[in-house]
Structure 1
Amino acid sequence: MHLQIPAFLAASAFLTGLCAAVPVEQRPIKGKHAGPHRGHHGDDPFNKDFRDPYDHKIDTVAEDLQPLPIRNGQGTSILGPRNKPREKQNPDMIRPPSTDHGSMQNMRWSMADSHVRIEENGWTRQTTVREMPTSKQLAGVNMRLDEGVIRELHWHKEAEWAYVLEGSVRVTALDVEGGTFVDDLNKGDLWYFPSGHPHSLQGLAPNGTEFLLIFDSGEFSEESTFLLTDWLAHTPKSVISENFRLPPNTFDSLPESEKYIFQGSLPGSIDEEWPKGKGVKKSKLQFTHHMLEQEAKNSTGGAVRITDSRNFPISKTVAAAHLDIHPGAMREMHWHPNADEWSFFIRGRARVTIFAAEGNARTFDYSAGDVGIVPQNMGHFIENLSDDEPLEVLEIFRADEFQDFSLFQWMGETPKRLVADHLFKTDPESARKFAEVVESAEKDVIKSKWRKDVGVAEGEEVDGDEVWEEFQEYEL
């Protein structure tokens, strides 16, 4: 493969955001500059002399840069009080891209800003519509249970979907036909309990577990759970006695209030603990799923695993995609027609611009532990801010199936003349090149870094500085 840089650099700047879906083994260009935002005016993108008309990403954390509200000669410094670490995590808040416009609501929240409820060897925190008003369709709870710690027997008005972030956990449940379910799960596994289904959770050896819970209503509150101990504490003991056919004094030692999260005894194997009564039967439902064991759909810039009612039939109200986005890569420009996107960032740093129609767009930056919202049908992308570290994200929806529309695919499957009339009316050469790139109409869900795709094949020797200088001349 030979370098074709000049021809590609002559194309419209729109090509910078779209790459051909050709899965090829590639290696990074070697050069002294790490990011595409470096230009002829020095290495500080927050200097008044710096110019970047194409709004490239800036990884302020990795490059140890302090953001300022200065862009292309406009703006000035900050004289008042500052939270510099917070600014560094959110460079596009301090200096938004020139394409941002309007007064879009906040679409970002960090679990680090949520109130933590601390219990016996465990804790929980939540992001709901109360913490984040745009989180209308789903609510999220982050919970930690140490070894042997129990999230007590309970049920909810809402359905519960969960992803195991670390460790191991035992889940138990009962279905509406009286069928019993018990399973042990590990990192990357899921469970789903429909509304009203009773269940429990317990951390296993050696370090317990941490997981993300998703509920199919933004109005959910972890405090409104129906708990076994809370119910019995508020029921006359004479009624409890009658119900279980035991003397009332049998229940004198019941907890006086909810236990919620508490240290339990260490469980044995599932076989050892399986209920032995005559009426016990195994549930016909499968409440758990091994998401990370699914075969991944590979793209040029990463891998995607989708779990919804098609491969996890019980999950009727929550669908999800797990994204591994390679360094420098991007979840392609797209939108979702059937639900809001509720994202949880597990690892890495990301930039997301949300297009809301009527000329409105806003860019947000996300780090591990952050929650993002993209309302239904709003166009967006997820760009890995780092050229060195991977990005891991969960996209979650209140829907029975995952659905999205790809901008790349749409352009490829629309008549060339119509696209050209829209985008390149006065530039037929760029129209021709654009049509060639999108001709395959192949969705590339996660796109690898554009300059890698066009320039460097495995084993090819390239002068990275020479390529970079040529790229700079075109842009700046």
Structure 2
Amino acid sequence: MLLPHLPILLLALGSVSALDPQLAEFFKNKAVRPLSLAERAAAGIKPRHLRPFTEPADVRLNKRDSITSPDVGQPATWETNTQPQPQRGATGSTFGSSDTNIELDRQNPDNVAPPTTDSGIVPNLKWSFSLSHTRLLKGGWVREQVIQDLPPSVDVAAAELRLEPNAYRELHWHRVAEWGYILNGTGRVSAIDEDGKSYISDIQGPTNGEDPDIYYFPPGVPHSIQALGTGLEILIIFTDGNFDRTGTTFMLSDWLARTPLSIISQNLGINISELANIPQKDPYIIQATEPPLPLGHAEESAPKSPDGEVPNPYVFRLKDQEKQIAKGGGGWVKIQDSVTNFKAFILIFRMIFLGTNRTHQVSKEIASALVFVEPNGLRELHWHTVDEWLYILHGKARATAFAGSSTSRTFDFQVGDTGVFPVSYGHYIKNLSPTEPLIYLEIFKAERFVDFSATQWLALTPPQVVADLLNISVATVQGLKREKQLIIK
């Protein structure tokens, strides 16, 4: 970028008078930061470092091509109303001008001044829904995070869906599984299974400090979602990163618009004149012509199936699940999978049809965990056997992804951010707030929640082996926690 240095170049040539008048006025009123150390000192601009130097100046000058002191890796911070700068210790330099997105720099300090432990090339593993294109519709909106936004190997897509009071997501089904976390509001879902059994249930977001509801529809299950009087907002997960491709989502109205009316008439047993106004393009979200029955009256809202009701629910009340207090004392988790503690929600993961020996393979689709990290707490160093997808519900976090082969990269997260840690990537998640909890979701395209703890591995390895590897004492190794800590104070 030559433009920030153009005034200096022209001054060297003698004048800025050759500039376009608008550019001349721009540079006349714009403070261009001097580029050399001497010029910065003359201008009264003091260099900022994460820690004071203790070495004499002549020693530091001899080390200008290397890191001058160990870096413990704390996040870079800047005083209020000052511009973040790409400097860390004796490395980096200031921006040559103020032409940078200061708000984004403040939200991502580890992009601007990463710890020196970061190394090599790691792809971007973070996406904010605020960067997603929002589709505005009558009765709500939707925005997505799909294969274009995160590494394509992470075969999960997500959407945030907002429905105005009484509006509903039209009748549809998917080739893949759909998992939903109720962010706020109240609503009602309805569905049928392949045996013609029906299902209807009210859903609601966090209320009175209690955790919200989640729902799960296996692949192919037709369903609808309607907001009640307070409106509804949902985080939705799909088990296909390339979710927008043809053949993934099927809208009922779109199907009928692509079918001859005579066929529809014969199939539904309806006079063809009744079909004159069916929509010719799927609306995605529809505003109700009549308000639904209020919260708590789901059972009265739909006809009963002659084949009965589904034997187990599609909706699970997180508030009814016991917290698993972390051994490390830094928080708790609620894990939902087919093996650990989700057996009360068998339909989602292992529904056995009454009177038959057939089993849904839903257990192969999604496992999840709601994670609560106390202020300053740490989700311990660990890795998973499948990709982890995360969503920040509350708070601010920092995480470093270790990709092997001496490569790693640190990311900063806040509310509404999504992120991924590909299979086997080592990582931690640190709550950056000393006063606020960090709350987030971990999602896995898997049958069960599985993680490996670095501390537990070291503690259960012959102590001398660990001591020799890390150059620490055997006594220190013997003091490591032998139980998985999950979250540490």
Which of the five TM-score ranges fits, normalised by the shorter chain?
Answer: 0.7 to 0.9
Pick one of 408, 415, 418 that aligns with 2:455. 408
Tell me, in whole angstroms, the C-alpha distance in 2 between the residues paired with 1:102 and 1:154.
44
Which residue pairs with 1:165 in the alignment? Answer: 183
Query: How many angstroms does 1:141 deviate by?
Result: 0.7
The 1:152–1:135 alpha-carbon spacing in structure 2 relative to 1, beyond 3 Å, is farther
2:174 to 134, 138, 156: 156
What does the per-residue CA deviation read over 1:89-111, in whole Å, with 9 as the maximum and x for residues that have no partner? 00001111101111111101100
Per the TM alignment, residue 60 of structure 1 is displaced from its structure 2 partner at its CA by: 6.0
> Structure 1 residues 379, 230: closer, same or farther in 2, change over 3 A?
same
**Partner of 1:71 in structure 2?**
88
Q: CA–CA distance in 2 between the matches of 1:210 and 1:331?
A: 27
Contact kept, 8 Å, 2:335 with 2:370, in 1: the verdict is yes
| Largest Rg, 1 or 2 | 2
Instruction: Tell me, in whole angstroms, the C-alpha distance in 1 between the residues paired with 2:420 and 2:159.
Output: 15
In structure 1, the residue corresponding to 2:75 is in which secondary structure?
coil
Aligned AA for 2:407?
N
Query: Aligned-pair distance for 1:133?
Result: 3.0
> Map of 1:25-424 to 2, 5 A cutoff?
39=51, 53-58=71-76, 66-80=83-97, 81-134=99-152, 136-187=154-205, 188-205=212-229, 207-221=230-244, 225-264=249-288, 265-268=290-293, 269-276=297-304, 279-299=306-326, 300-310=329-339, 311=342, 312-313=345-346, 314-315=348-349, 316=363, 317-337=365-385, 339-424=386-471
Q: Partner letter of residue 382 of structure 2?
A: H
Q: Report whether the alignment pairs 1:435 with 2:472.
A: no
Separation in 2, partners of 1:445, 1:199: 36
1:389: Cα distance to partner? 1.6
- What TM-score comes out, normalization by structure 1 length? 0.79
**Deviation, structure 1 residue 166:** 0.8
What residue ranges of structure 1 are gaps of 5+ in the alignment?
A: 1-36, 43-47, 449-476
Cα distance in structure 2, aligned partners of 1:243 and 1:162: 33
CA-to-partner distance for each residue in 1:402-433, whole Å, 9 max, x for gaps? 00001111111111111112112xx53xx422
Write the distance in 2 (CA, Å) between the matches of 1:386 and 1:51: 27
Q: Percent identity?
A: 38
Tell me the distance in 2 between the aligned counterparts of 1:419 and 1:65: 44
Name the CA distance, whole Å, in 2 between partners of 1:164 and 1:383: 25
Cα distance, 1:218 vs. partner?
0.8
Aligned to 1:25: none
1:350 shift after superposition: 0.8
Between 1 and 2, higher relative CO (CA 8 Å, sep ≥ 6) is seen in 1
> CA deviation digits over 1:38-80, x for unaligned, max 9?
75569xxxxx99977211134669x776432111111110124
Counterpart CA distance in 2 for 1:112 and 1:354 is 22
Displacement of 1:381: 0.2
Report if aligned partners of 2:180, 2:237 keep a CA contact under 8 Å in 1: yes
Measured against aligned partners, the alpha-carbon deviations of 1:422-464 in whole angstroms (never above 9, x if no partner) come to 112xx53xx422421x1x412111111xxxxxxxxxxxxxxxx
Relative distance call for 1:117 and 1:135 in structure 2 (3 A) is farther
CA distance in 2, matches of 1:319, 1:405: 16
Could you tell me whether the CA contact under 8 Å between 1:354 and 1:361 is conserved in 2?
yes
Distance 2:70 2:192 in 1: 58
User: What CA distance in whole angstroms lies between the structure 2 residues aligned with 1:234 and 1:195?
Assistant: 22
Distance 2:77 2:166 in 1: 41
Q: Cα RMSD between the aligned structures?
A: 2.3
Q: Which amino acid aligns with 2:103?
A: P
Number of residue pairs matched?
A: 397
Native 8 Å contact 1:136 1:219 kept in 2:
no
Question: SS at 2:404's partner residue?
Answer: coil
Is the CA contact 1:105–1:134 (under 8 Å) kept in the aligned structure 2? Answer: no
Amino acid paired to 2:483: E
Query: Where does residue 447 of structure 1 map in the other structure?
Result: 488
Separation in 2, partners of 1:216, 1:323: 21
CA offsets 1:336-359 (integer angstroms, 9 cap, x no match): 01x100000111111110011111
Tell me if structure 2 keeps the 8 A contact 1:124–1:144: yes
Alignment partners' CA distance in 1, 2:200 and 2:216: 13
Task: Please state how far the C-alpha of 1:118 moved relative to its aligned partner.
Answer: 0.7
Give TM-score, length-normalised by structure 2.
Answer: 0.77
Go from structure 1 to structure 2 and tell me whether the alpha carbon gap of 1:64 and 1:157 turns closer, same or farther (over 3 Å shift).
Answer: farther
Using the TM superposition, give the Cα deviation of residue 245 of structure 1 relative to its aligned residue in structure 2, in angstroms.
1.6
Is this contact kept in 2: 1:58–1:385, CA < 8 A? no
Which deviates further from its counterpart, 369-378 or 288-297? 288-297
CA deviation digits over 1:17-45, x for unaligned, max 9?
Answer: xxxxxxxxxxxxxxxxxxxx975569xxx
* Counterparts in 2 of 1:282 and 1:60: CA distance versus 1, 3 Å: farther
- Counterpart of 1:447, as a letter, is I
Amino acid at match of 1:211: I
Q: Distance in 1 between matches of 2:76 and 2:51?
A: 13
Residue pair 2:50, 2:88 contacting (<8 A) in 1 also: no
| Secondary structure at the counterpart of residue 281 of structure 1 | coil
Question: Aligned partners of 2:173, 2:394: CA distance in 1, in Å?
Answer: 31
Partners of 1:58 and 1:168 in 2: CA distance: 41
Preserved CA contact (<8 Å) 1:123 1:143: yes
Match of 2:13 in 1: none
More deviation, 131-140/300-309? 131-140
1:356 counterpart SS class: strand
Distance in 2 of aligned mates of 1:291 and 1:126? 24
Letter of the 2:460 partner, please give it: E
TM-fit CA distance, 1:121: 2.0
